Amino acid sequence: MNCFHNMIAAAAVSFALVTGAGAEVIKVAHADNQAHPKHQAFMRFAELVKENSGGRFEVEVYPSGQLGDERELVEALQTGAVHVTSVSNGVMSAFAPQFMLLDIPFSFGDAGAARGMIDGSQTLLFADLETIGLHGLAIWEQGFRQVSSSAKGISSAEDVKGMKLRTMEAPLHVEAWRAMGANPTPMSWGQVYSSLQTGIIDGQENPLYVVTQEKLFEVQKHVSLTNHIYDAMPVIASNDWWSSLPEADAAIIAAAMAEATTYERSLVEAEVEKARAELEGLGVEVVETPAAEIAALKALAQPPVIARIRATLGDEPVDAWLKAIGQ
């Protein structure tokens, strides 16, 4: 009886909206555009949920920040106004500090290692999310972050020194680049192209396909493959909504999310490969930063970042994480 009453109560608020056809609506929102792998993966998720539920669920996807920026979308999960979102790891860390572990630079040598470690660590990463009204579903990605620059590529650790580099407004990213000798300059994305064009900044760091999609190659003639951060994007749900689902329905949604996760990662891989080929065709120098120089940058970047995370999380989870990733 209590379960029935809970279901009725859930139907009274936004996370149990129904359409005219009687399908229960799952409201998904994110801040990226419709060309982004995230959006395409959410559309695939929508197809799978509808198909596997026999049409009992209808997933509505709202891209491009239509329902708010990333922080606002996480807050919307907490109120039940949105059911599912995927946000950048830096934003997620502000709500759940254990996600700071994913921002330790130079943690992974390749995407396979990153995925294996992260998929096997979801118990840690998703721990206690329920206490803040959230539920972890998956970890998606944008690919490794690389550096584009105007004057030269990064062939040695010395090349980073003094570089005016646009970073996300993520404190650990700023900390890492400052330790490597760069001049990190957080700024909103809308300012980046003009700032590169006028020389206010020398470069920026993002997955390769951002350089092609945003036409940064017009003002950046060097791209360095530093693989400094595996750009994770947690997929998070409203815990009120998730906990209201019957077990069978939760299983349908979880299975659809698992398939959408594999699809999302394949899209990212394809976009990265396509972008590299395009950049080389456009006359952009693609520099594979030597392993010895990556090691030198890692030795500079990791200690202050790890110290800052220890101050927040304590030693035990940090030591466990570092051991698991072979650091």
What residue segments make up the domains of the chain, in order of their start?
2-324
Task: Say whether pLDDT at 69 is over 70.
Answer: yes
Task: Say whether pLDDT at 306 is over 60.
Answer: yes
Instruction: Give the model confidence (pLDDT) of 159-215 as tens digits.
Output: 999 999 999 888 999 999 999 999 999 998 889 999 999 999 999 999 999 999 999
Task: Name the nearest CA neighbour of 74 among 234, 199, 304, 210.
Answer: 234
pLDDT of residue 8: 33
Instruction: Give the model confidence (pLDDT) of 157-173 as tens digits.
Output: 999 999 999 998 889 99
pLDDT of residue 22: 80
Provide mean pLDDT across the span 146-163: 97
Higher pLDDT, 6 or 38: 38
Q: Which two tokens stand for residue 72?
A: 């606002």
Task: Say whether pLDDT at 305 is over 60.
Answer: yes
pLDDT of residue 136: 98
Task: Name the nearest CA neighbour of 6 among 254, 248, 245, 250.
Answer: 245
pLDDT of residue 197: 97
pLDDT of residue 281: 94
Q: What are phi and psi of 33, to 5 degrees?
A: -80, 175
Question: Residue 257: what residue type?
Answer: M
Instruction: Give the model confidence (pLDDT) of 251-268 as tens digits.
Output: 999 999 999 999 999 999
Instruction: Give the model confidence (pLDDT) of 212-233 as tens digits.
Output: 999 999 999 999 999 999 999 9
Average pLDDT, the chain: 92
Within a 13 Å sphere around the CA of 32, how many CA atoms are in the beta-carbon half? 19
pLDDT of residue 21: 52
Give 301-304 contacts, CB < 8 A, sequence gap 24+: 301/105, 301/106, 301/176, 301/177, 301/179, 301/180, 301/228, 302/104, 302/105, 302/106, 302/176, 302/327, 303/179, 304/175, 304/176, 304/179
- Which residues face 203 on adjacent strands? 149, 165
| 170 vs 319: CA distance, rounded Å | 22
Provide mean pLDDT across the span 46-72: 97
DSSP single-letter state for residue 83: S
pLDDT of residue 11: 37
Q: Which two tokens stand for residue 149?
A: 């620059």
Instruction: Give the model confidence (pLDDT) of 75-128 as tens digits.
Output: 999 999 999 999 999 899 999 999 999 999 999 999 999 999 999 999 999 999
Task: Say whether pLDDT at 20 is over 70.
Answer: no
Specify the CATH class of 2-324 in words.
alpha beta
Task: Say whether pLDDT at 17 is over 80.
Answer: no
Q: Angle of helix 247-281 relative to helix 111-119, nearest 10 degrees? A: 160
pLDDT of residue 12: 36
Task: Say whether pLDDT at 18 is over 60.
Answer: no
Higher pLDDT, 11 or 120: 120
